[in-house]
Amino acid sequence: MKLFLRDQLALVLFMLIQLVVVTTVFWLDGYRNLTIASYALLLGLCVFIAFLAYRYLSHRRFYTLLSSRQAGLEESIQQLGAAPLPASLAELLQLQYRHYQKKIIEGERKQQNHLTFMNQWVHQMKTPLSVLELMLSEEADARNNSMREETDRIRKGLDMVLYVARLETFEQDFQVEKMQLRELANEVILENRRLFIRSFVYPDMQIEENLVVETDGKWLRFIMQQLIANAVNYSAGSGAKITINGYRSERSVILEVIDCGVGIPASDLSRIFNAFFTGENGRAFKESTGMGLYIVRTVLDKMNHEIEVESKTGEGSGTTMRIIFPFAAVQSVEH
């Protein structure tokens, strides 16, 4: 009702001004019969009020819908009513709705085609890469070792592309299972052994035995690879160790990756999980894409896990990345 009155306010004012003007003209012309004049004014007001009542009743659903602002678009179109103005608006909205539905479907199709292409391209690139790695493994000399470092970088880059593509369809690729943290961490360390060796950094795993969490094993492996690779890269050449802790707290399981690197500046801490953010360290070390920690945070949020970071700047100060698995502790593998 309020919206209707606001919409008709100009018409009401125009009608009142018109009645005053007509009455004034008759008065100045010498017409002094107040009874007839009052009757004419009252009759005009009654007709005008009847018109407003008809207009409100015929457009009531239209004004009610505009005032509520709760219904979905398709439901809103159906509730606009049959009056000429609401019906015309409903027809226009229906055309726009169909147009944007078509655009959305077309966009989703293009996105799906893009994801399919990226997945196929990554897998096609991995085949010749595996052949190269096999050929390089036959002879262990300095030249081949250097080439293996480059193939490792290519493989990690391809994996990054693949996981970014899969992030768009995370729910379709998500599978919860029980994972032993110690076993998984050991596998990730072995996969990155050449990175540890050439960076002069060694791992120190301090994960409790039979520490199990319920999570997606494939995504958790990727997350651990990202955190460990970052820790090694920012500690390279120092002869330091990377500590991987895993333990139970009162109501959760904690996994920590601790390095002794240069640390993260306080001004960067709040932004390290933003997409494409590299920060001071990323610009200094040249190889940062700014996507690794973004994917880590996004995936952990989707899996209902948490991540915390503690860091101090300065050589050897180090950074602690802490993953929290709420209510995910399992006392033993048998349980």
User: Which stretches does DSSP call E strand in the chain?
Assistant: 177-180, 202-207, 212-215, 241-248, 252-258, 306-311, 319-326
- Please give the pLDDT value at position 1: 67
Task: Count other Cβ atoms within 10 Å, centred on residue 115.
Answer: 16
The C-alpha atoms of residue 10 and residue 56 are separated, in whole angstroms, by 15
Contacts of 303 (CB under 8 A, 6+ apart): 174, 215, 216, 219
pLDDT in tens, 25-66: 877 777 777 787 788 788 888 888 888 888 777 777 666 666
Which CATH number applies to 174-326?
3.30.565.10
Q: Please report where in the chains the tokens 């390290």 appear, as a residue.
A: 272
Strands 241-248, 306-311: parallel, antiparallel or unpaired by DSSP? unpaired
- Please give the pLDDT value at position 236: 77
- Please give the pLDDT value at position 70: 56
- Please give the pLDDT value at position 334: 40
Q: Which residues pair with 257 in a beta bridge?
A: 244, 321
> Which regions in the chain score pLDDT beneath 50?
329-335
pLDDT in tens, 146-195: 888 888 888 888 888 888 888 888 888 788 899 999 999 999 999 888 88
The C-alpha atoms of residue 136 and residue 127 are separated, in whole angstroms, by 14
Q: Please report where in the chains the tokens 């009874």 appear, as a residue.
A: 35
Report pTM: 0.67
